Amino acid sequence: MIRLVYIISLFLLGVVAVFVSRPVDQVPEAFLVGNPRVKAPGPAGLTNGPGGQVAKGPPRSSNPLTNQPVDTSAADVENSISTQATQVEPARSLDADLHEARVQFVSAEASLNIAQQNEKIRVLQQRSKLASVERKLDLLRMDRETYRHGEAVRRRDELHDSVKLGEQRADLAEARLHWSERLAEKGLVSQFGLESDRAATDEAQADFQANEKELEVFQESAFQRQLAIRDRQVQLAETEVERVQREERTLEAQQKANITLQQSARQMAHAELTQLEEQHRKQQSDLPLPDDNNGRRRPVRSNATRSLSIDTIVEHGSRVDTGQVLVQLDTTQLDEDLQQNEHVQTRLAIERDYARQDLALVETQNELDRSQSQLAIKAAKLASVDYLEGTFPQQEQLALDKIDEHQDLVEATRRRLDWSERVVKKGYLPQMQLDTDRFDLENQKHLLVQAKHELRILQQHTYGRELAALEFTIQQAEADDERVTTLAEARLAKRHIKLQAIVAKLRLHKMESQRLEKVIAKCRIVAPSPGRVLHELPPFEDVSFQLPAVGSLVQPNQFLLTFVDETSRLNR
């Protein structure tokens, strides 16, 4: 029993010894520098683990916060690292994002303006197309009415007159044949003359039957077929008008959706640009101003406008001369960005030159198109004047002269018929001659009626149709001129917008190159005068938990080192 108690006592003593002899967790010296959770002053030097001696810091009077024990833990260190990472990333990419947002806004605004010009062009082209098909429909309707009330009536009257004349000619030929047969029985007409009269009679009968058949076909099928063809043309034109109207509504909806999309893209780009500019202004206002108290000790800060890593830094306690490099930040990414930006500027400069050449070509083409459209208007108006003052009066005069000629022939034929009637009554001429003169009178009357009908068709239908066609040509030419003018303005506006967008982008990229060059220049910090470099914090300096070193990522205006000016000491 005593032995068991003894063994348990030894075991408990061993456990206590293990806990008593456990070493206290050490925090690296780099995490102690400048930590705000400092509690009490410590010795001038600290060990970073067994056997590791950290470089001694400055006297206590120069930096009361250096080398002091802290109440910290791994979670505090992790939180500090996370906080620094979240502060570094926006500062690293904000300038580039701001430049990209400006370029995107310029592109979005140019796309919106071009879309609006395209909508103007589309509306004009669609209206011109609709006006063209509507005028075509009007002409087809007018042509149908002209055929129904003009050409068809004239053709029907011609066929009726032809049938009537053919019947009279057949009767006359048959009467001549009977007269020739009687004379042949008396031996006064040869057999050849008799056969000629028989052939003429058969021919007259065939012509009469052909005219009757043609009139029957015209009344039953030809007229209806031609009218159906014109009705079908009118229906197709009406369908075309409806199709163009539907197409216009569809294209209008599509173009409105496209413009709405472009406006949304511009608004988004503008909102993003405004947000980034506000962040940039806030970042610039949040950065503390450099502390230069014109004393012997002055803090050296990062002059870069973005977060960069340290490439080289002068060691603690080193003496430097005027112009010697104190800190060199890594500019590899900046150099690549600058080179890429220069390539973009070269490409934009080439695009600008091409855009200017394209603008000059468009201006030349616009002048040529406008001159051609003006010539088309003049030609259409001259054609209208030529028809009104030349062609139509000439056709009308020819029709009137033809009527006068047929009236004279009718009067002459009537006088000859009167003479033949008197002579036949006296027995000096056969009845055949009287029938022939009567047939000639009817034929001349038919020709006179036909001439008057042609004059009526010319004055009431042909004149209106030709005048409408000429007016349509003039209106079409004027519409084409308006379309050409508007298209020229729209094309010119599009080229100007494109050129202005390219110039704006080029200006932005030049500004970005200048900014990058300034940033690169600020990445090289040199000594303003002879002095000494100290890796220590000036009094009351608020920085992160560690001093910068080679490879460390520093933020804009972040403390790097302390420079001690020794100009006065050297002068003494």
Burial class (CB in 10 A: 0-12, 13-18, 19+), 284: exposed
Cβ count near 351 (within 10 Å): 18
Q: What is the pTM of this model?
A: 0.55
SS3 helix, strand, coil % of the chain, rounded to 5? 75, 5, 20
Answer for the pair 322, 530: CB distance below 8 angstroms, yes or no.
yes
Answer for the pair 499, 359: CB distance below 8 angstroms, yes or no.
yes
Q: How far apart are CA 144 and CA 233, in angstroms?
A: 9
Sign of the four-CA dihedral 555, 556, 559, 564: positive
Under DSSP, is residue 328 helix (H, G, I), strand (E, B) or coil? strand
DSSP character string of 189-207:
S-HHHHHHHHHHHHHHHHH
Q: How far apart are CA 335 and CA 344, in angstroms?
A: 14
Which residues are 313's β-sheet partners? 327
Sign of the four-CA dihedral 530, 533, 539, 543: positive
Which residues are 563's β-sheet partners? 298, 533
As given in the structure block, the two tokens for residue 346 are 């070269």
Q: How far apart are CA 509 and CA 96, in angstroms?
A: 11
Answer for the pair 492, 365: CB distance below 8 angstroms, yes or no.
no
Q: How far apart are CA 92 and CA 309, in angstroms?
A: 11
Distance (Å) of CA 196 to CA 173, 180, 208, 210, 431 = 11, 10, 18, 21, 19
Any idea which residue has 């220049």 for tokens? 521
* pLDDT tens per residue, range 68-124: 333 333 344 334 333 433 333 334 457 777 778 888 888 888 888 888 888 877 777
DSSP 8-state secondary structure symbol assigned to residue 461: I
Distance (Å) of CA 351 to CA 156, 318, 355 = 70, 53, 6
Q: What is the pLDDT along the chain (572 residues), one digit of tens a residue?
A: 445 544 565 566 555 444 444 443 333 333 333 333 333 333 333 333 333 333 333 333 333 333 333 333 334 433 433 343 333 333 445 777 777 888 888 888 888 888 888 887 777 778 778 888 888 888 888 878 877 777 777 777 777 777 877 787 787 778 777 777 777 777 776 777 778 878 888 888 888 888 888 878 777 777 778 888 888 888 898 898 889 888 888 888 888 888 888 888 888 888 888 888 887 777 655 444 344 444 477 888 887 777 888 899 998 888 899 888 999 998 888 899 899 999 999 999 999 999 999 989 989 998 998 899 899 999 999 998 998 888 889 989 999 999 999 899 999 989 988 898 888 888 777 777 777 888 888 888 888 888 888 888 888 878 888 888 888 888 888 888 888 888 888 888 888 888 988 998 898 898 888 888 888 888 889 888 899 888 877 665 555 546 788 888 888 778 888 888 887 655 55
Question: Which contacts qualify for 221-230: CB closer than 8 Å, 24 or more apart?
Answer: 223/152, 223/155, 223/156, 226/147, 226/152, 227/144, 227/147, 227/148, 227/152, 230/140, 230/143, 230/144, 230/147
Under DSSP, is residue 526 helix (H, G, I), strand (E, B) or coil? strand
Q: How far apart are CA 147 and CA 143, in angstroms?
A: 6
Task: Give buried/exposed letters for 431-454 (b at 16+ CB in 10 A, else e).
Answer: eeebbbbbbbbbbbbbbbebbbbb
Cβ count near 167 (within 10 Å): 16
Under DSSP, is residue 365 helix (H, G, I), strand (E, B) or coil? helix
Nearest Cα to 277, choosing from 420, 125, 102, 447?
102
What domains are defined for the chain? Answer: 100-286 (1.10.287.950), 290-330+523-571 (2.40.50.100), 340-508 (1.10.287)
The distance in angstroms from the start CA to the end CA of the chain is 87
